[in-house]
Structure 1
């Protein structure tokens, strides 16, 4: 289970190797709303279209569907999206791809954080997402369609 999986917001980032740290969806949202961070959704275009998206987040795929090929424009896109002095909070489906993206952003000189649980959270006992954590389950803003 992830560090903020109990439903309550984590007050502080959790240390991580290779990037600034892991944060709860609530903390990422607070930073984003305060203007301290840029929310970057690193899921594929297909995921955002089919599953839902966060209005106002920067859409910048880490890997692209079909085939989940690396996005050759990621480096350029993240540098353009995150101004100097701001943090990047990275969101994927479950909080795994966003770790790789946070590590790459850190290599590029950006203070980058992974959002724990991602957009949909971990799968439940039936293999379904959206019932065990995630941005949506935590009641944060999102839309579909």
Structure 2
């Protein structure tokens, strides 16, 4: 699979709804790059590949990320849509995936969206706020 790399260093940004549609149709694999702790405590997307970009505690880089992202993208045969908390770490992860020869998109707004005026997430956009499939343990 080959798609142009955008000026940003990865394939581009997609809305949560577009990512969900691509995932549902089998056109893309959703990779959740949040830490294991975030997925466990805040919630997760059923069917997403859990692959931390940085791991808790200390938010240290995941040494298994490259192998994991290659496996998720089936060696370049599948388009990837990457999800983090707010759409920041997923950009860095999409750039790395692109460097590895994969087609990777960032999901805008992430799982929880940006903080509101009170500093709370989950009120201004994000996968969860938009009513897309998710679960919590």
Question: What TM-score bracket applies, with the shorter chain setting the length?
Answer: over 0.9
Say which of 20, 25, 41 aligns to 1:34: 25
Aligned residue pairs, count? 131
Offset of residue 16 of structure 1? 4.8
Matches within 5 A, 1:1-145: 16-83=7-74, 84-145=76-137
RMSD, matched Cα: 0.8
Structure 2: give runs of 5+ residues left out of the alignment: 1-5
Q: What's the CA shift string for 1:67-91, capped at 9, x where partnerless?
A: 0000000000000111232100000
Counterpart position of 1:4: none
Distance 2:59 2:7 in 1: 25
Q: Distance in 2 between matches of 1:49 and 1:136?
A: 15
TM-score, structure 1 normalization: 0.89
- State the distance in 1 between where 2:7 and 2:46 align: 28
Structure 1: gaps of 5 or more residues:
1-14
Q: Deviations over 1:14-59 (max 9, x none)?
A: x551000000000001011110100000000000000000011000
Partner residue, 2:3: none
